[in-house]
Chain A
């Protein structure tokens, strides 16, 4: 394909994207001259270039479209629903032709002419409707004029134009003249400062930067002794870091590139489903790696379909339950440390947990026994299991039992996570956590077979260490299947060395060595991967593997570690499939093994049992994100409040137990901080030890049926519950400088 055609394809695609955005906006503001001007220009440009390049079929279509848009722009026609639908169809047809040109380098072989002429007929009919419209608007015209005049008057007065005659003159010109000027001005500035770059070239740059980072590491090590070179190598270090940042930024695109497709999707769906929906989009400027942006398009579309079909009720139902007839669908994107969060929320009917439970049991996805142990939040996550659908009737849009599991699989494929929150009658929020970039992921480096492997952090839920003296007794066997009791539930184990090197398989456990179990969660499957050792977590640059190694089905890529060693990246999902860990088996086993005392208590809720300065306290497990063990010196003070600096984010630390003070002046003494989630913020709680995880039971005040708040019964002891939401937030003003006086 020649350069000119390629250029034309890219330009036209961009023009049509712009047209799509404008068309959905036009529906709300059908008189907006600027929008109409924009759309007109898109089609006009396409028509001009196609004529020049000789794509006759496309030119004919664009020509009819241009005529119709001309009438709209000149105000001779009003963009009603029928016209917008017609223009959307025109846009789809033009897109189709662009695809044909891309594949065959011509715009169709005449067989499509029939469907073209049908569309052309439609567009021409819409133009003729002008006469009808003109007749009707004849009556409406004066009032319209007056309306425009009254709104335009104050501005014009400000511009010091006097005299009614002059004002009228200006009003008539105002409709057409000033708008294109401003729009043209915008167009030129955009093209002057931006440049198109091939993604292949960007990928190559990313690779080279990775290489540079490695070389830098080696130079830093080599020059550490030489004072003359230290300054130079430090400068190299800084420049490399900046360069890496810039190349990564170059691959970023705003999420609006994907969001802009949704007004159309929602328009079509709400018409098909007879819903009234208002779309609100926030944080469109949030940026994400281009390849990730592509990957979330489908999951987001699925999520939106679900919201419209199952979430937002028909207008009549909404009015009956006291809501606005028009439902609100909100798309929100924002960055949170190294992730971008995308929320799809609606103010619809919400998900009824009992319905989810009933359906999951009916479909055999979970046993009734197991279901009774799950919290409401956990039950909600069942909708992500394959084969789950609560739709009463299978509609065109959703209800075939695919959808939510596709959403989860797709998001997990790119190292992200999905979670759902719902309140019956109030609405549903679905949250996608997407890593900022695919090329660099956080991973835990593990050892096995005297070799390093990288384990993506996304799938890792916790780590268990088994000391040599416990190794033999801690691992139990069920007919050759190793199992570990993790807080009373059986966790199937996979030994990494046996998996990778079948010759090791023979024989039992050789005792007297440390074992580490990485508890992994992937596609709803949970298992423990047994490795010989752990190293530090590292941000790794993912390199693709050759087809031969990828087809083994255990590795997802390779990476070069900081010390220059190569490490293969393990793919937890593929390992689970290879060994045959399934959701069902695990669920059944859990059902059999569930501890009796927990069952008796009805598993009200689970708590992390901690000890803080000699006293036991409980923290609701649902709020706990992770437990950090850090040297005392990492805790800094903001005024009088202890804070932790995590990857550039400030975490307030609650120290009501006086653990930090007790650690005294020893800066290397380790302190334990439980990191909790409270709404959208995170807080840390300093504790002496983490003791256990246990189910708590509710307590009632004697003589009343009133639930005692703030306490729970854990292991037959009354234990105080730490209220995470009582931790006061940090001062809002940012000008408070972080004093890094590390309490000496």
Chain B
């Protein structure tokens, strides 16, 4: 959902972004990518699963694999209920596990800036730049690269590169 507007003669677009919080950081996912938001979930741990898997949840008769943004960014596992964004990927739906979902923000493309070159390679792949808001930065997530299939193949690639 975007609207084109003109500010100071510069063409720019308005986009609605769902903001989510992990630790102290505010992340954003374009609402057009979100299938559904499930609140207060207790994912079931799947032993032996790759590190980024946050567990399994029951979602509309299916068992959904979740990707924990926390574990993906190397933060500690969190106890207690968490919120889930249900996203679509070529391999089917998956859940993105975040600490909590906050409000939907309308942002302007003029405030967007690409990833800084300082960012490490992994984060650079997962992030799609940031919006400079008055309250701070809203880091955009590259939803295509958050799917378990993509992350799994990336894990394999990294292991191969190390060997």
Q: How far is the CB of B92 from chain A (nearest CB, A)?
A: 7
* B-side contacts of A544, CB under 8 Å: 63
Min distance, Cβ B64 to any Cβ of chain A, angstroms: 8
The reply on A560 being an interface residue by CB < 8 A is yes
Interface string of A544-567 (1 = CB under 8 A from B): 111111011011011110001111
Q: Is B61 a contact of A211 with CB atoms below 8 Å?
A: yes
B56 & A566 in contact (Cβ 8 Å cutoff): yes
Question: Which single member of B47, B58, B148 contacts A546 (CB below 8 Å)?
Answer: B148
A548:B148 contact, CB within 8 angstroms: yes
Question: Which residues of chain A come closer than 8 Å to B91, judged between CB atoms?
Answer: 546-547
Q: Is the CB of B61 within 8 A of A548?
A: no
| A565, B64: Cα distance in complex, Å | 14
Q: Produce 1/0 per residue, B144-155, CB < 8 A to A.
A: 000011011000
B60 touches A211 (CB 8 A): yes
> Closest chain B residue to A578 by CB distance?
B48
* Contact flag A552-B49 (CB < 8 Å), given A544-B63, A545-B63, A546-B91: yes
Asked if A457 lies at the interface with its beta carbon under 8 angstroms from chain B, I say: no
Contact mask B40-83 → A, CB, 8 Å, 1/0? 00001111111001001110111111000000000000000000
Cβ of A132 within 8 Å of any chain B Cβ, yes or no, is no
Return B146 CB to nearest CB of chain A, in Å.
12
Given A210-B61, A560-B58, the answer on whether A552 and B48 have CB atoms closer than 8 Å is: yes
Counting contact residues on chain A (CB < 8 A from B), the size range is: 20 to 34
- A543 contacts the other chain (Cβ, under 8 Å)? yes
Q: What is the CB-to-nearest-CB distance from A121 to chain B, in angstroms, rounded to a whole number? A: 49
Instruction: Check A545 against B65 for contact (C-beta < 8 Å).
Output: yes
In the bound assembly, the distance between CA atoms of A559 and B57 in angstroms comes to 11
Given contacts A551-B152, A558-B63, contact A546 B48 (CB under 8 A): no
In contact, A451 and B45 (Cβ under 8 angstroms): yes
User: Contact mask A442-468 → B, CB, 8 Å, 1/0?
Assistant: 000000010100000000000000000
**B94 touches A (CB below 8 Å):** yes
Known A-B contacts A544-B63, A546-B92, A560-B58; A501 and B50 likewise in contact (beta carbons under 8 Å): no
Report yes or no: A500 in contact with B61, Cβ–Cβ below 8 A: no
Contact A543 B63 (CB under 8 A): yes
Contact A208 B61 (CB under 8 A): yes
In the complex, which residue of chain B has the Cβ closest to the Cβ of A550?
B65
Check B65 against A549 for contact (C-beta < 8 Å): yes
> Is A43 at the interface (CB under 8 A from chain B)?
no
Q: Nearest Cβ distance between residue B40 and chain A, in whole angstroms? A: 14
A211 to B62, CA, bound (A): 9
A564 to B44 CA separation, bound complex (whole angstroms): 11
Q: How far is the CB of B153 from chain A (nearest CB, A)?
A: 10
* In the assembled complex, A19 has its CB within 8 A of some CB on chain B: no
State A500–B91 Cα separation when bound (angstroms). Answer: 25
CA distance A555 to B47 in the complex (A): 10
Task: Looking at the assembled complex, report how far the CB atom of B129 sits from the nearest CB atom of chain A, in whole angstroms.
Answer: 27
The residues in A between 519 and 575 inclusive whose CB is less than 8 angstroms from any CB of B are 543-549, 551-552, 554-555, 557-560, 564-568
Measured between beta carbons, the chain B residues less than 8 angstroms from A557 are: 63
> Which residues does chain A contribute within 8 Å of B94, judged by CB atoms?
546
Question: Is residue A605 contacting chain B, with contact meaning CB distance below 8 A?
Answer: no
Q: How far is the CB of A730 from chain B (nearest CB, A)?
A: 42
The distance from the CB of B51 to the nearest CB of chain A, in whole angstroms, is 11
Q: Tell me, in angstroms, the Cα distance from A564 to B63 when the chains sit together.
A: 12
Question: Interface residue tally of chain B, by bracket?
Answer: 20 to 34
For the complex, would chain A's binding face be called helix, strand, loop or mixed by DSSP majority?
mixed
Q: Which residue of A lies closest to B66 (CB)?
A: A546
- B residues near A565, Cβ cutoff 8 Å: 44
Residue of A nearest to B62 (CB): A543
Whether A549 lies near B61 (C-beta < 8 A) is no
Q: Report the minimum CB–CB distance from A209 to chain B (whole Å).
A: 9
Chain A residues with CB under 8 Å of B63's CB are 543-545, 557-560, 566
- Among A211, A546, A557, A568, the one with the most B-chain Cβ atoms within 10 Å of its Cβ is A546
In the complex, A555→B62 CA distance in Å? 16
Instruction: Give A564's nearest chain B residue, CB to CB.
Output: B58
B58 to chain A: which residues have CB within 8 Å? 214, 560, 564, 566
Complex Cα gap A501–B47 (Å): 7
CA distance A501 to B45 in the complex (A): 11
Min Cβ gap A485→B in Å is 29
Q: Cβ of B53 and Cβ of A548 under 8 Å apart?
A: yes
Residue A335, interface by CB 8 Å: no
Q: Which residues of B sit under 8 angstroms from A208, Cβ to Cβ? A: 61
Q: In the complex, what distance in Å separates the CA atom of A564 from the CA atom of B58?
A: 9
Determine the chain B residues whose CB is within 8 A of the CB of A210 once the complex forms. Answer: 61
Query: A548 with B47: in contact, given A558-B56, A566-B56 (CB under 8 Å)?
Result: no
- How long is the Cα–Cα vector from A501 to B50 in the complex, in angstroms? 12
Say if the beta carbon of A207 comes within 8 Å of chain B.
yes
Return B149 CB to nearest CB of chain A, in Å: 6
CA–CA, A566 and B62, complex, Å: 11
Query: Inside 8 A of A547's CB, which chain B residues have their CB?
Result: 91, 148-149, 152
Which A residue sits closest to B44, measured CB to CB?
Answer: A566
Q: Are A548 and B65 in contact (CB under 8 A)?
A: yes
* Given A545-B63, A548-B148, A566-B63, A500 contacting B44 (CB threshold 8 A): no
A548 / chain B contacts, CB cutoff of 8 Å: 49-50, 53, 65, 148-149, 151-152
Of B46, B57, B92, the residue contacting A549 (CB under 8 A) is B46
In the complex, 26 of the A-B residue pairs with CB atoms within 8 angstroms, ordered by the A residue number, are A208-B61, A210-B61, A449-B47, A451-B47, A500-B47, A501-B47, A543-B62, A544-B63, A545-B63, A545-B65, A546-B64, A546-B92, A546-B94, A546-B148, A547-B149, A548-B53, A548-B152, A549-B53, A549-B56, A549-B65, A552-B49, A557-B63, A564-B58, A566-B44, A566-B56, A568-B44
Beyond A545-B63, A552-B48: 4 further Cβ-contacts under 8 Å? A451-B44, A546-B65, A548-B149, A554-B48
The list of the 3 closest CB pairs from A to B, nearest first, reads A500-B47, A211-B61, A546-B65
